[in-house]
Amino acid sequence: MLGIEDALGAGRISVLLADGRGDAIRESYHLQTFLERGVDAIIVTGRRAEPRPPIDIAAKVPVCYVLARSQSPEDLSIVINDDHGARLATSHLLALGHRRIAYIAGPQKHLSARLRYAGMRDELHAAGLEPVTHSAMWGEWNEAWGRQAASILANSGKPFDGVFCGSDQVARGVVEQLQALGIKVSEEASVVGFDNWDVMALASRPQLTTIDPQLGELGRVAAESMLAMLNGEPRRGVIANDCELVVRESTAVLPS
What pLDDT was estimated at residue 165?
A: 98
Please determine, for residue 58, whether its predicted confidence score (pLDDT) is greater than 70. no
Please give the CATH superfamily to which domain 2-80+214-241 belongs: Response regulator (3.40.50.2300)
Q: What is the average per-residue pLDDT within 89-109?
A: 97
Q: CA 256, CA 246: separation in Å to the nearest integer?
A: 24
Count CB-CB contacts under 10 A for residue 96: 17
- CATH 3.40.50.2300, domain 82-212, yes or no: yes
pLDDT score for 10: 77
Q: Residue 253: left (phi > 0), alpha (psi -120 to 50), or beta?
A: beta
Other Cβ atoms within 10 Å of 224 Cβ, number:
15
Query: Which one, of 161, 170, 168, lies nearest residue 138 by Cα?
Result: 170
Of 60 and 226, the structure prediction assigns the larger pLDDT to 226
**Is the pLDDT confidence value at 63 over 90?**
yes
Q: In the chain, which segments carry CATH 3.40.50.2300? A: 2-80+214-241, 82-212
Tell the burial category of 90 from Cβ atoms under 10 Å away from its Cβ (0-12, 13-18, 19+).
Answer: buried
Q: What is the pLDDT of residue 49?
A: 80
Number of H helices and E strands in the chain, helices first, is: 8, 9
pLDDT of 102 higher than 80 = yes
The pLDDT tens digits of the residues spanning 118-135 come to 999 999 999 999 999 888
Q: What is the pLDDT of residues 149-183, one digit of tens each?
A: 999 999 999 999 999 999 999 999 999 999 999 99
Q: What is the mean pLDDT of the chain?
A: 93
Instruction: Assign 250 a pLDDT band (cuts: 50, 70, 90).
Output: very high
Q: What is the pTM of this model?
A: 0.91
